[in-house]
Every structure is written in C-alpha cells, then in structure tokens.
Structure 1
Amino acid sequence: MTQNKLDQWLNQRAQEPVQRQLLVISGEPDWAISQAQTVLYRLKLTCHLWVGEGAADNIQANQYRQYLGREYQALIYNAFDGLRASALAALSGAVLQSGLMILLCPDLQEWPTYQDPQKAQRISYGYLSQASHSHFVAWLIQRINNDPAVAFYSKEGFNGTNVPLLPFSEALQHSLSKTATQQKAVDSILNIVSAEKPDALVITADRGRGKSSALGIASAQLLEQGKEVLLCAPVVSAVEQVFAMAKTLYPRAEESRLTLTGAHSSMSFQPVDRILAEQPVADILLVDEAAAIPAPLLKALCERYSKVVLSTTIHGYEGSGRGFEIRFKPYLREKHPNHDTLHLLQPIRWQQGDPLEAFWFSCLLMTKSRYQQVAVPNESISYQWFRGKELVHSPELLHQAFELLVNAHYQTTPDDLVRILDAPDQRLYLLTSDGNVLAAAQINWEGNKALDEIATEVVKGKRRVKGHLLPQRLGFIFKDAASTKQRYWRIVRIAVQPELQHQGLGGKLLRQIEADARDLKLDFLGSSFAASEDMLKFWQKAGYQLVHLGDKKDASSGEVSALVLNPLSKKAKQIQTRLISFSDQLS
C-alpha cells in the first residue's frame, strides 16, 4: 500500500503540472539516500544539486553561497551530515517550478537527539555536552507534520498530495518580461540611461522574482542602443543569469570572458575594487546582490557613477539584506533624494503562494509577525527571559522577537534562530505588552570554568575556541589571563521596535538584565559591536565603558569594532581599571 501511494504521487508529478514541494524521507541513512536516488530516477530529475553524502558530485552545506542564483530541478539535502538553516533557506530558492526539494533525515522520534555534525559549529566551547536535544529540530518536525503540502516518506508509509499549478496568465505574452513589475524594472533602467540628470534605482526582491533577469533584459536593449554597461557583484557567480539573459536576447554580441561586445557597445563585469581603482567609463553601472557589498563601497560607487542601479535580495539568508536597508538606504535618501525604489513581489521561477517557499518562510520565521504597533505606558510592560525549550512553546513571541532582531541587525540569519533555540549558553530577554514584543536582547554566557584549562593558550594567541568572544578577545588583546576566567554575559544583540525607540526601553531592558546578572553573581556584562556614534552613546548612557576600539573597519558595517564592559563584581572592577589603563598606554 505504501509503495502504491508513493507510485501514484510520483506518476502524477511526472505527468501533470505541479508546484514545487518538499519531500521528507525519514529513516536509516543508506535507506534514505537510496530512496532519494530512486525518486530522482523516476522523475528524471537529472539537473539536481546534492548537499551532503549520497552523490559523487555532492557539495557541503557550508558551500551554499557559491550556488545562489543557479537553478535545479531538484535539491537534495542530507541532514545526516548536519543542519544549516541558512543553507536550507537559500538553496530552496534554487529549485525550479515543478521541482522537488528532498530532505533526508533520521526517524522523527530520534531526530531531536541525533548527534548533528554541525552542532559544534553553533554551540560554544564547553557547552556541547549540554546540547543533547535540538529544540530547533523539534520545531522543524512540528511544521513538517502540520503542513499538508509537505510529503513524508518512511518505511512505515507515505503521505502526501501534489499541489497543482494554477492556470497560466498570458497578460505579458508579447513582452520579454514575465511579470508587470519585471517589465517596469526594465523600463526604469532604460529611463535612467536616457535621462539627462544623474539618477539611481533600487530593485529589491525575494529570490525567484527575476531581478537578475531584468538586469539582463535591460542590458541586451542597451547593447542594441550602443551603450556601455558596467556590471559588478560581490562574486562573479551572482551575475551568471544576467549575462545568460543578455546573450540570449542579443546573440550578435561577441562573447569573451565576462564581456559581451557589440558593434559600438559593450557589457562587462568587473570586481568592485577594480572599478573603484580604475573607474572605467560607462553609461550605467549595474550592481547585483548589492546588499552583500559593504556599505562604504556602495557609497563610493554611487559617488563615482552618476547613473546606478542597485539590485538586491531582501531576505537575510546571508545576513546582509537588512544591512543594506539600515546602513545604505539613509545615505541614498540623502545623496539621491529623487531615486526610485521598485520591489518585485510576484515570483517568476515559481507561482505566487508556492508551497516550498511558504514552508521555509514560515519555519524560519521569515514572514511578517502579528506585532501590533503600540505606544505603551511603562506600567503595562512585562519582562521575561526564555531558553529554547520555552520559545518553541511560545511561537508568536519567538516570531516577533526574531523578526525584530533580523530587522535591527544586519548579521542576523536563519542560523541564529537555530542558536537561539538550541544553544544552552543562550538566553532571550523580552519586554512585552499585551503579547507584543517591544524590545529583545540575545545573551551569551561566556568565560568562567569553560576556559580555565586553555586560558594561557588563549592569551598567547595559540588557541581560539567557539564562542566566548569577550573573555578571549580581552585575554588576547591585553595579555591578561585573569580576564579570561571571569563570568560574563555578552549582549549579542539588542533591539527595540522602531516606533518605540528613544523612549528608554532599551535601557530598561539592560537594567533588568543587570539585576539578573547580579543575582547570579556574574562578573561582567559586555558587548561588541560596530562602533557608530549612536551605538557608542547608547551603551555609554547605559553605564557601559569603552575598553577597546578596533583599528580595522569591518567589511560589512564599514565601522571599527568596539568592546564595552559593565563590571559587576569587585574583582571585575579591578580588572577593568587595569584594562583601561593598559589601553590608554597603547593609544
């Protein structure tokens, strides 16, 4: 009976137009791999990407960024080799319409306690033995079981129904573009070139919306018009689709490495650093995946070229989409007040309401929460802290808190959701009012006995372990072994709802955290962050003292790093005085 159900499901997928879906194959590793190979053979899915063991041409999860922007009929993710949430989210976007994403995993009863090989990459040194149960996996299983569009296959049975494609719309049958907004993007790019004044355009989209194709369509038309098109991106692979589309639509162009040349025109790719150094002449500069380029470099590009298009993915698979919003958009509004912004909403590689995208967006909390914008009096505010186990059972609070952290911090990714739920050295502190999260802070336990045996090696720079940022950095910078052995809480991230900022909520949350830290006899509270003027003022106002300022700018933020401390114990105060004195001598 099980085989009959699976056969019927596969036959329907092979014969009828269906949407992208997730198939979970659960069981022993060899059996699961064998079944996945059979599914690929039955459906003739020869263009596929295999992550983890199971295929000769497989890749590892940590290589996922190299495959963004590519397209496959199927994506097989072997979770026996470890879960990487950011890879799952990003690579799901590489599956074409009617394609399949296959997730191989242990028996669902055993999976939360499975010894995940990736666990050591997200759990701080000294805490691995305490991370015997994955609350993230429990969260994932819950969503697998509750989503009717997810197909599930094990030795005990098969359960799943195919989701049919909706009728095809022919509204744009005479256009090169596949959606109205994509055509608008193409027209806007062409208008920038023909305009007399300097201009800028920002194109944002989730994956699969055709933004790179829009750049390629516009580039082909510009080549026909005899224009010089300059293209850049953080990596060459990000623009493969742009070149492929331009070459298809302008076949007369001669193609050489990273260049298309027409009779009196050209389109070429150059790395950002070379463009800034050589400043080649161009009628327009197209920047794809702009969010992954440091904001200072984007600013420099906009200062050197008067006509610029910046295209970027907005969901933070790489933890950079929001950085573009937070760190670059204000500059653009100031320097190019008349710039246009266009958001591509309708998918092109799959249909609106696609089951696979909807599953991962929901599971990894990439959808909008039900937070209600409120202005609350102080007496209605509640203060709570949570570990992963409690958060799994408070999904709406978790959703709101994670959304807030993603929007406020450009480096927050789906991998951070896994750490929040699974890492025994983490706590999540919330200020809430009537079920609405007003402010959130992510806390790490650091130092103490975990580093006792390796303190000397840390100070000498011979050892660096996972986590424990504050004690390791202090010990190494100041050559102070005592600082590595203290008990720390590091505020990894803190955020307040934008409309409630400058009302003292962040300071209130820090005071509550400090009260708890004192009750637990901790030595230090501290944080490390990109040292903008506003951030330094916030921490210093909260009673934290700057003890170290980096000398190199971070590639993502364009700022140097700052390290601030708030000593809680008598010994901590003595250590901090010594560190500051030493820092003054160095400067």
Structure 2
Amino acid sequence: MIRALAADLKREAERTNERRLLVLAGDRDRGVNAAHDVIEAVDAADESVSIVSTGEGFRFDRVGPRGSGDVLGSTREVVVLDCHDRFVPNALGRTVGAVDGGGLLVLLTPSLDEWPDRRDRFDESLAVPPFTLGDVTGRFRRRLVDTLRTHPGVAIASLAAEGVSEHGASGTGSETNGEPSTATIERDGHVEPISRNARPTTTPSRPATATFPPAVYSACLTADQVRAVHALESLATPGSAVVLESDRGRGKSSAAGLAAAALAADGADVLVTAPTYRNAAEVFARARECLGTVDAVDAGDEDHDHAASDDADAASDDAASDDSHLLHVPGSGRVRFAPPAVATDLPDDPDAVIVDEAAALPVRLLDGFLAAPAVAFCTTVHGYEGAGRGFSVRFRDHLLNGEFSVRDVRLDEPIRYAPDDPVESWAARTLALDARPAVPEAVAGTTVDDVRYRTLDPDELLADETLLGEAFGLLVAAHYRTEPNDLARLLDAPNLSARALVTGDRVVAVALLAREGGLPAETRSAMYEGQRVRGNMVPDLLTSQLRDEHAAEPRGIRTVRIATHHALRGRGLGSRLLAEVHDEFADVVEYFSVGFGATPRLLRFWRRAGYRTVHLSTTRNDASGEHSAVMLRPEEPAGVDLLDRHAAAFRDRERDALSDAHRDVDADVVRGALAACPASVSTDLTAAAWRSVVAASFGPGTYEVAPGGFRDLALATMVGDTGPNDEEGVSVDRATPDLAPQAERLLVRKVLQGRPWESVAEELGYVSTTACKRALGDAFRPIVDCYGTDAALAERDRFAEQ
C-alpha cells in the first residue's frame, strides 16, 4: 500500500516537476520500515537520499536535526525527517529546501491525533525554569497537523498496530526486516490537474550587450538566471556591487558560479565565501562545469558526505570550510574559497568577491567586503534562516551609502521545481516563512494617538492567520535572526508572551517578552557554580559570569524583541509600546531588562526608556557582529539594588577593559554605554595628579605624565547618569562638563582605550598628532572647571594670568 502510494506520488511529482510530501504517522519503528519501503519503491539511489534523525534503524547515513544544515546546500531525491524523538522546526525548514523537483519529503511522525499532546526533547528546551515540561503547550504542532491535513500535495499514511489497520481490518503492506507494515491512507496527496507546471522548453537568450561567452548563458535555465549573470558581468569593473536576492531554489548560487567561471577564464582572481564551504558547493559545482571547457584544474579536496550520530548532532562542517577549495584556470585566473573570517581580510587581493548566503553572516564581516574592488552578495529572501536578516535590516544601508555602483536582481522563477510547487507553499505557510507586516497602505498615517495596546494571546494567534502573520512578520522584518524555532517558542513556550500596538485590526508594533528570575535557592546556587539555566539570559549572565549569587532572585521581564512597522518608524510607537509594557507589569516584577547588539542609536533608545547599562560583552556577537549590551530598568527595591551593584561593577570593569578587551569598540558605542551607567566615579585625585592635568590643559604639561588621573576624570565625565532624561536622552540634573561629541570621542579613543596618537588623529580627522594633542588639552579644560579642587582651580587661574 505504502509502496504503491509512494510510487504514484513520485510519478506525479516528476510529471509536474513539483515535490510531494508523504507523512508516515504512527509507531516509529514501523515508520522507519515504511520509509525504507518508500525509498525502494521510488528506486532512489543511496547518494540521492538523506536521513535526518536522532535515532537508529536506518540503512542510510544520517545527520541529527542540528546537523540538518549539511543537506541544505544539496539536492536530494528523497529526504526523510524523523520527528519522533525531537522535532525541530528549523530542521524541517532546512530539509524542505534540499528536496529537488520530482522528489519526496517524508516525515515520520507520531499519530497525528496524538502528536500535539506529546512532548519531546525540543519541548524540553522550551521548559525554562521555573517552568516545567507540563507547562509547554502543543499549539505549533497542532497548527502543523492542520496544515498537513488540509494542504495540497500532502499524503498521509497512518501506521496502525501490527497486523491491524486503524479501521480494525487486517491489511498487510510490504515487509521489511520481517515486520508487516499495515497502513491506512488518510490522504493520497494527489494534486489536480497534474502536469500544469511543466517547464517551458525554450532556452533563455543571451543579452545583446553581454560580454560573457555564449556558453555561460546557454547554461542558464531561466530568464531570471540570465538577468543575474548579466548583472554579474559588472564585477569585472572595479567599484561595482551586485545584490542577488531570491527565495531558495531559484538558481542564484548557480548564476554566481557561472559568473565566477567567466571572470576567472578572463584572468580574474575570484574569492568566494559563505558560512561554510557546503553553502558554496553549488557555486563551485557550476563554476567547475563551466570551466571544464578551458581545462581548469580542481586543486581542492572533494566535498564529502558524512554520517553523524546523535552524539555528533551539534557538529558542523567547519573543518570542511577551512579546506582549500580552488579552481585554477590556465593563466592567472582562479576561483577560490575562504571562510568568512578569513575572506573579510581579502587575502591576496582578489579582483572580485562573491558572498553566498550573505544573510547568514554577521554585519561586521559583511562590512569588510566593502573594501573589495567589486563584490556580489547573494542572499535568500525567505529561507529557514527566516531572519529579518542582518543583511536586510542593517547592512543594506551600509552598501547603498558606500561608493559602489549597486545593481539589484531578484530571481523569482524556481530552478529545481515548478513555480506553484505545493510543498514550497506548505512550508512557507507552516513555518511562517512568508510572514509579512501589514502592507504600508493599511497603516499609513497612523500616529501614536491612534493605536491600542493589546495582548497577543497564543490561542488567538493560532486561530487568526492574519494576526499571526503580521505579528511574526514584524519580528522577522526587524531582527537579524528570526527562525522557525522562534515561531514554536511564540506559540508554546510558557516563559514568553507578546504584546502589540494595533490600529483597527492591523499590527503596527510588537514586543516579545520573557519572564526571568524568581528562581529558587538551589537553582541559583547551581547557576553560581556554573550550571547553565535556559531562558534566563540576564540572571544567568549576572550570576555565573559576573559572580552575583543573588542576581536570579528578583523577578524580571526581558524584552527579547521589539519591532515597529517600517512605514511608521520615528513616530514614537516603540516608546509607547514599552511604556505600556512597563505599566502592565510594574506591579508583578522588580526590574525590566534587555540585551542587544549595541549601536549608538539603540543605546539612546533604551536609555530614553529608562534602562541603564550593566554589561558590555568582551567579544562580538556571532550573529550581529556587535558587542552585546545588557541594560536594566528597576521597578522595586530589589531591582534598584540589583542595578546599583552591577552598574558599579560595570564602571569598575570598564576602567580596565577599555584599554584591553574593549580597546576596539566603536567610540560612540562606548559613549552611549557609559552615559547610561548610573554609577558615579570619584574625582578625588592626588594633588600631583591634579597639577599634571591642569598643566596639560592650560599650560605646558603633557598627558603622558599622569595618564591615570586623566583616565579617572574621563571616566567620571562619561559615566554617572542618575537623573531624568530630556528628550535627547541626556540627564538634566547632573553637573557634568559640557563636551562636544568629538571631544568625547577623543577621550574614549586616547584616554580610555589608550590608542596611539597617530591612529586617533587619523580616525578623528585631526591634521596632525600635534593638533590632536592640543584638542585633548582643550577637552580637559571644562573637566577641570567642573571637577577641579580649589588648588587645581587656583593653578588653572595662575596659567590663565600668564
């Protein structure tokens, strides 16, 4: 029965160049046996099959859910995803993308009626303290089951007990390993009319103005690919940048490979990078094919598949990405791969750089490629990465504001399967990959007075696809890392809640909130001894890393994400939403918190909202490429105490860290972080130190004589925000020196970070180091006026009279 169903689905998928989804629901062992039957029935070669599972029993190599990225850059005839032990939404997104047109995606699931109420190892990750597994809901899987039972192109076979069908009748399908497989076909998955999406047989024509050889264009399968390759011809001209955007499976990597080959054949050195070599494998495959006509030599190691056990589930292919993958062309041309951290330094001065899967790279690394002579960024618009994508959110403006001439190409026509493939639309619906904010026209003109604050109850989100799509779409569009796993957390995690501002029934701003802290003594003690506790980011940081055993005792609310509709930014909606959140939860928590990739703009926003800095990470965040800041807003005495002791600790750490681990942090980030730290700094310098500072500011002295005194005064000038803020985020009741931003940057770079005079002068635009030194003396004059002792002021006046 299952063999016949699989064969029928496969034939239909091949005729239509679409994919089909087959669900084998029921006992896992029977599901494994049935999956083998499916693979045999469709006569799939071993190398065209991928298994994603944490369990045993398969006769094929397998990877665990965390290793499912290994199959993402490949194309498979059959992919089997085992959903029994740990169903990870991200793994589903990755495996869907690996199935080729004419292929099958096979899901092994528990009984669909029972699955939403079952809890697995992924659910355990949602049961963050103080919640338990019993607090986790099954809304995401309930929604998933509904889509499986209603979406076109999905077949469902329910595997009954041995020898008995679900309707009580005996029925035997095939036998595998001697075990009878009995099934009831709940849905046959057929889509009518079949063959409606047969690919056109006409070959796209080469543009009249093309410079690449005709063979390059004859390898293109769609008009979109032709346009992409034609745009990539500009990489032969310095100062050119190309952005290729597409949904997965549209052939952007193939287009990049064809262009790389053509450039290399013309003598160019093309550097290719991607999160791992596997992500760029298609670029090299197409470049290798194209260069075969010019006798290219493949000097790289052959890519290889590998099995991964459950113990190796978290392993990636970083080792493979570090290998040398190189295509030589007779003469000087070549195509070579380097991992992003190496490629961003542009080793050996390439003529052009191609960045594949750019959306998955940190903004900090992407910025490095702006120094290349010419560069192409290939990025997935809607993929399992989900990610409001750092590329779209933060990096795109960097590129457009730079010196490149930028060409944009979007590829819409699928290469590997037909345009109306039902599995693609099923995955987009199920994982909210196509979630979008409300169209701008629907919210145009909305002001802060027009909106209403509301709770986004998970049951309401589950029942209202429009509400869910607009809310989740805002989170995706506004953040650089939003994944299908986050959709499951939104619907099922007991520690999370969502709030929104709406106009009419349109969502215009949304906040995702996490309940943290309030943990029992034994848990706090374990955290202090180094045990990681999920879902309590701020208490965990303050306890385990910053050594505060009592930090997890107060109850807090952390803003995980906050997003405003892009058409309404700058109208105060984010501030209004936060104010409503503060009002709602002020009586039930002792503090509010937030952690984010620190930028000057975000530091100002959170400071205006009453949050104060307690931490700046010593390393850059892998996703954002920025140092992460943690800020608190106290509500009750316990929160005030928590802020006071950690603000003071932050002040003390930064005095040393700014000339060590934070020596390269952006000066404006340092300014913003210190300005929001409510801890005063002593200006009780020795008489000798004061004389040195005054002499360097008003007389013939130099900074180098007493740098410690300068550092204390600089820190006191930058730190100590204890009063209310004006609308610019500046404290209005603190007696501080009145310094211009440029003078503060000079204090950060030279005095606090201890950078060389030459680099400081060059970065800040001084004509010479002498001018830079003079500016530093001028910057300290108002500092002396503000903090100086009577003796120091007398010394100042003495110099003024000379």
Unaligned runs of 5+ in 1: none
What residue in structure 1 maps to residue 27 of structure 2?
28
Q: Which moved more, 1:91-100 or 1:451-460?
A: 451-460
What residue in structure 1 maps to residue 446 of structure 2?
376
What residue in structure 1 maps to residue 739 of structure 2?
none
Aligned pair 1:482/2:482, yes or no? Answer: no
What residue in structure 2 maps to residue 307 of structure 1?
374
What residue in structure 2 maps to residue 573 of structure 1?
640
Alignment of structure 1 residues 295-444 onto 2, 5 Å: 295-303=363-371, 305-318=372-385, 320=387, 322-336=389-403, 338-369=405-436, 371-373=438-440, 374=443, 375-444=445-514
- For 1:272, which of 337, 340, 356 is the aligned residue? 340
Aligned-partner SS, 1:250: helix
C-alpha contact (below 8 Å) 1:22/1:356 kept by paired residues: yes
What residue in structure 2 maps to residue 456 of structure 1?
525
Q: Deviations over 1:279-332 (max 9, x none)?
A: 3133322221222222222222221x2111111222252355621111211110
Aligned pair 1:87/2:91, yes or no? Answer: yes
Aligned partners of 2:13 and 2:341: how far apart in 1?
47
**Structure whose CA Rg is larger:** 2
What residue in structure 2 maps to residue 38 of structure 1?
37
CA shift for structure 1 position 208: 0.5
**Closer, same or farther: CA 436–17 of 1 in aligned 2, 3 Å:** closer
What residue in structure 1 maps to residue 721 of structure 2?
none
Aligned pair 1:191/2:234, yes or no? Answer: yes
Aligned partners of 2:268 and 2:152: how far apart in 1?
51
Aligned partners of 1:547 and 1:38: how far apart in 2?
58
- For 1:67, which of 55, 65, 71 is the aligned residue? 71
CA shift for structure 1 position 420: 0.7
CA shift for structure 1 position 90: 1.9
Q: Which moved more, 1:533-542 or 1:333-342?
A: 333-342
**Closer, same or farther: CA 7–285 of 1 in aligned 2, 3 Å:** closer
What residue in structure 2 maps to residue 292 of structure 1?
360
Counterpart amino acid of residue 299 in structure 1: D
What residue in structure 1 maps to residue 684 of structure 2?
none
**Closer, same or farther: CA 412–320 of 1 in aligned 2, 3 Å:** closer
Of structures 1 and 2, the one scoring higher in RCO (CA 8 A, sep 6+) is 1
Aligned partners of 1:480 and 1:161: how far apart in 2?
57
What residue in structure 2 maps to residue 234 of structure 1?
275
Q: Deviations over 1:477-531 (max 9, x none)?
A: 4422222111111110011101111211111111211122123x21111111111
C-alpha contact (below 8 Å) 2:10/2:103 kept by paired residues: no
- For 1:254, which of 282, 297, 301 is the aligned residue? 297
Q: Which moved more, 1:45-54 or 1:530-539?
A: 45-54
**Closer, same or farther: CA 370–458 of 1 in aligned 2, 3 Å:** closer
What residue in structure 1 maps to residue 790 of structure 2?
none
Aligned pair 1:213/2:247, yes or no? Answer: no
Aligned partners of 1:17 and 1:291: how far apart in 2?
31
C-alpha contact (below 8 Å) 2:156/2:189 kept by paired residues: no
C-alpha contact (below 8 Å) 1:233/1:288 kept by paired residues: yes
**Closer, same or farther: CA 18–287 of 1 in aligned 2, 3 Å:** closer
**Closer, same or farther: CA 17–204 of 1 in aligned 2, 3 Å:** closer
CA shift for structure 1 position 351: 1.0
Aligned partners of 1:262 and 1:143: how far apart in 2?
50
- For 1:105, which of 106, 109, 116 is the aligned residue? 109
CA shift for structure 1 position 180: 0.9
Alignment of structure 1 residues 515-554 onto 2, 5 Å: 515-519=583-587, 521-554=588-621
C-alpha contact (below 8 Å) 1:51/1:61 kept by paired residues: yes
Aligned-partner SS, 1:138: helix
CA shift for structure 1 position 15: 7.8
CA shift for structure 1 position 144: 1.2
C-alpha contact (below 8 Å) 1:18/1:162 kept by paired residues: no
Unaligned runs of 5+ in 2: 160-165, 167-183, 206-217, 301-324, 655-802
Aligned partners of 1:446 and 1:532: how far apart in 2?
24
C-alpha contact (below 8 Å) 1:231/1:287 kept by paired residues: yes
Aligned pair 1:179/2:222, yes or no? Answer: yes
Q: Which moved more, 1:223-232 or 1:7-16?
A: 7-16
CA shift for structure 1 position 370: 7.1
- For 1:506, which of 550, 564, 574 is the aligned residue? 574
Aligned partners of 2:74 and 2:388: how far apart in 1?
19
C-alpha contact (below 8 Å) 2:244/2:408 kept by paired residues: yes
What residue in structure 2 maps to residue 55 of structure 1?
58
Counterpart amino acid of residue 370 in structure 2: C
CA shift for structure 1 position 416: 0.3
**Closer, same or farther: CA 15–331 of 1 in aligned 2, 3 Å:** closer
What residue in structure 1 maps to residue 671 of structure 2?
none
C-alpha contact (below 8 Å) 1:177/1:214 kept by paired residues: yes
Aligned-partner SS, 2:104: strand
Aligned-partner SS, 1:398: helix
Counterpart amino acid of residue 312 in structure 1: T
What residue in structure 2 maps to residue 169 of structure 1?
200
Q: Which moved more, 1:510-519 or 1:425-434?
A: 510-519
**Closer, same or farther: CA 547–95 of 1 in aligned 2, 3 Å:** same
Counterpart amino acid of residue 577 in structure 1: D
C-alpha contact (below 8 Å) 1:292/1:321 kept by paired residues: no
What residue in structure 1 maps to residue 710 of structure 2?
none
C-alpha contact (below 8 Å) 2:152/2:190 kept by paired residues: no
C-alpha contact (below 8 Å) 1:185/1:342 kept by paired residues: yes
Aligned-partner SS, 2:389: helix
Aligned partners of 1:5 and 1:247: how far apart in 2?
39
Q: How many residues align?
A: 580
CA shift for structure 1 position 64: 1.5
Q: TM-score, normalized by length of structure 1?
A: 0.94
Q: Which moved more, 1:468-477 or 1:14-23?
A: 14-23
Aligned-partner SS, 1:107: coil
What residue in structure 2 maps to residue 584 of structure 1?
651
Write 1 or 2 for the structure with the bigger share of strand. Answer: 1
Aligned partners of 1:488 and 1:330: how far apart in 2?
35
**Closer, same or farther: CA 75–350 of 1 in aligned 2, 3 Å:** same
C-alpha contact (below 8 Å) 1:10/1:43 kept by paired residues: no
